[in-house]
Amino acid sequence: MTEVIRHDLIILGSGLAGLRAAVEACRVSGGKISVGLVSKVQLMRAHSVCAEGGTAAVLRPEEGDSFELHAWDTVKGSDFLADQDVVHRFVRIMPEEILLLEHWGIPWSRDPDGRIAQRPFGGHSFPRATFAEDKTGFFEMQTLYDTLLKYDNWTGYSEWFATSILVEDGRFRGLTVIEMASGKFYVMEGKALIIATGGAGTLFGFTTYSQTVTGDGLALAYRAGIPLEDMEFLQFHPTGLIPSGILMTEACRGEGGYLLNNRGERFMANYAPERMELAPRDVVSRAMMTEIEQGRGFKGPRGLDYLHLDLRHLGRDRILERLPLIREVTLKFLGLDPIEEPIPVRPVAHYSMGGIETDIDGKTRVEGIWAAGEAAAVSLHGANRLGTNSTAECLAWGAISGKQAAEYVMHQGPAEKAPEELVRREYERVFGDLLRREGRENLYHLRQELRDTMVTAAGVFRTGDQLEEGLRRVREIRERFQFISIQDKGRAYNTNLIHALETENLIDVAEVLLAGALAREESRGAHARRDFPKRDDEKWLKHTLAFRTPEGPRLEYKPVVITTWKPVERTY
């Protein structure tokens, strides 16, 4: 029989969004509810520890920054697809989040006069990236975790893998979860759920993301009947290290670094003369790919031609003080010292603007389920996210969803039992079907093929033909997935089985991304169609919603919330 674990509130994911939600839920409930915090990796190994460059907030109004400016930068950066009510709310919340973290003990980097330091970032017209060296995510996670330890009404589940979200009659009923150490299958019953499972970065072969970021929460929500929104908008960060894809934070350019082509030119002068290297990421990535395609790049391994990120003129002291991680990484991975040599970089898959559809509070259309952080599409980033707005979003909507879900739970009666039929079916799917497969397809090759397909089909520039071919190949990969082989038939730490579950999730997310991208016949933000090179507000100023059907995603659309600024031409 399947064992049952009960909590009032379950938080799926312990990255910045999940931890911030947990702190808030514990805070507002005053110990009256029990919170379960679930992560497929050790709680403190969530991908968020990798965030480098900073977190956006208006801290210096006296020097010219303002909520309006931050909001305008975000809306313009989004290519006008962000919901403007969401953006206005976001910018007003952020200063308090920065100060809360300060009070909870984060070592923000400081200016010589002792104030919290802020540095420039792409697409922001004021230096408002708040940072802790170039290890911002690590320090934020550490601070939130330390704060959470003050409360005793939560339980952590490190290395527990969620396989499905149970929904009945439009309401949340529970999760099915595998305890990875033992391989035991559990039902977690609860009154509310916050999905904070992060993005889907490893859908692409060349990525900045941790290998654990496999879009699980997106696929689980999609299968539970919640639509995915705007998934075609996948951000390519301009500066991935060659050949690994490790992120060279935008803070390198925020601190004054240059991008150079093989003629030694700062080519951004031809694409974004005002903002140069600090134009938004979609603009810089397209410029870099154009330089490379037109022969002004350097020959790289495995077709990874590249350009140079030059920090030398910043000088040793500034690099050691502000970018120590970057130097450590280039020394360790390439034996290259950025104090003396330029760094080889090219655009790299980095961030999912889309995600689980929510309202402005992070609430999904299923009663009792919220989503927060990169997994959610609260519609803050639209078609292109500005750097430092993501860790900020995790804090803002972690706090909002944590508070709301806790208050919701406190007004509910006892949790109802999870539907036995759904639990039985899920057990059968995982252990009766998947674990028993002994087909001819190599699971690991199949995932690699999927990731290569996405690089070819849905890169910085896209065409209808490429997207169509990509969709065909992903559907073929789904067919072949039926014939995979799981060699490890055991239960304890069966990473072979987990790999299969993750791959199945990635396949669902890939199909949604490609279908949305193929349908959207325009270019907007990170979605650049060579066959439809212009933004088309008349037809496409709307959000894509993908609903799961047995035949594949069904697409619907919903309007963008425009409260303040009508779309205008986007120049930098």
State the residues that interact with ligand FAD by CB under 6 A: 12-18, 38-41, 46-48, 50-55, 136-137, 161-162, 196-198, 208-209, 213, 216-217, 247, 350-351, 373-375, 388-392, 394
CB 16 → ligand FAD: shortest distance, Å?
4
CA distance 157 to 341: 44
State the angle between helix axes of 443-457 and 495-519 in degrees (0 to 180), rounded to the nearest 10: 20
Establish whether 47 is a catalytic residue.
no
Report the residue number, 34 or 136, with the smaller CB distance to ligand FAD. Answer: 136
Q: Which of 124, 253, 350, 451 is catalytic?
A: 253
How big is the chain by its Cα radius of gyration, in Å? 23
| CB nearer to ligand FAD: pick between 369 and 467 | 369
Burial of 550 (0-12, 13-18, 19+ CB in 10 A): exposed
Q: What is the 3-state secondary structure (H, E, C) of 256-320?
A: CCEEECCCCCCHHHHCCCCCHHHCCHHHHHHHHHHHHHCCCCECCHHHCCEEEEECHHHCHHHHH
3-class secondary structure for 85-133? Answer: HHHHHHHHHHHHHHHHHHHHCCCCCECCCCCECEECCCCCCCCCEECCC
Cβ closest to ligand FAD, residue 14 vs residue 330: 14
C-beta of 113: minimal distance to ligand FAD in Å?
Answer: 24
Residue number with CB closer to ligand FAD (54 or 553): 54
Nearer to ligand FAD, 14 or 109 (CB): 14
Token digits for 278? 């600090």
CB atoms within 10 A of CB 433: 10
Select the residue whose beta carbon is closest to ligand FAD and give its number.
15
For the beta carbon of residue 564, count every other beta carbon within 10 angstroms: 12
Taking the complex as a whole, how short is the minimal distance between the CB of residue 260 and ligand FAD, in angstroms?
23
- Taking the least distance from each CB to ligand FAD, the nearer of 123 and 523 is 123
Residues 6+ apart with CB under 8 A from 432: none
First-to-last C-alpha distance (Å) of the chain: 61
**Three-class DSSP labels, 171-222:** EEEEEEEEECCCCEEEEEECCEEEECCCCCHHHCCCECCCCCCCCHHHHHHH
Phi-psi region of 431 (alpha: psi -120 to 50; beta: other; left: phi over 0): alpha
- The residue type of 339 is I
Q: Among residues 359 and 438, whose Cβ is nearest to ligand FAD?
A: 359
Q: Which helix (H) or strand (E) holds 374?
A: none
Q: Catalytic annotation on 527?
A: no
Residue 112: is the preceding peptide bond cis (ω within 30°)? no
What residue type is assigned to position 346 of the chain?
R
DSSP letter (8 states) at residue 463:
-
As measured in angstroms, the least distance from the Cβ of 281 to ligand FAD is 11
Tokens of 103: 């009070």
Q: Name which of 12, 32, 58 is nearest 192 in CA terms.
A: 12
Mapped onto helix, strand or coil, the DSSP state of residue 387 is: coil
127 vs 29: CA distance, rounded Å: 36
> Which one of the listed residues 237, 322, 327, 529 is annotated catalytic?
237
Write down the least CB distance from residue 298 to ligand FAD, Å.
23
Ramachandran bin of 65, using left for φ above 0, alpha for ψ from -120 to 50, beta for the remaining angles: beta
Question: Cβ neighbours of residue 10 under 8 Å, at least 6 residues apart?
Answer: 35, 36, 38, 174, 175, 188, 190, 192, 193, 194
Any idea what DSSP says for residue 31?
Answer: T
Amino acid, single-letter form, for residue 19: L
For the annotated catalytic residues, the residue numbers are: 237, 253
